[in-house]
Amino acid sequence: AQKITQTQPGMFVQEKEAVTLDCTYDTSDPSYGLFWYKQPSSGEMIFLIYQGSYDQQNATEGRYSLNFQKARKSANLVISASQLGDSAMYFCAMREPHGSGNTGKLIFGQGTTLQVKP
């Protein structure tokens, strides 16, 4: 069965520094998608970045980049130049394949709480 693991319950980072949030996944399917979401204290879920399993390059979106290491089954989120507004909970998620008995559902990790210090 597919599984997503985030091993860092909480992290601190100094403002303007870069931070890496870890995510490992487990799947036997060659086709899957990986997502990162941000959840501020207000509770809304904000989509940050997506990486497909066949994508050759690491995804980037502004200050967010995804360090995709397929052989190691890791999809770490890198936030550059941290800002106070980056303080939030971050979730890694994986979409399983769709079709041939697979449902295409999205499963989430446990989350990592990031606090940015001024």
Binding site for another protein (CB under 8 A): 4, 6, 9, 33, 35, 43-45, 47, 50, 52, 91, 93, 95, 98, 103-111
Nearest approach, Cβ of 12 to another protein (angstroms)? 18
Task: Give 49's strand partners.
Answer: 36
- Cα distances (Å, whole numbers) of residue 66 to 9, 72, 100, 109: 19, 14, 28, 16
Instruction: Give the shortest CB-49-to-another protein separation in angstroms.
Output: 9
Whichever of 16 and 54 has its CB closer to another protein, that residue is: 54
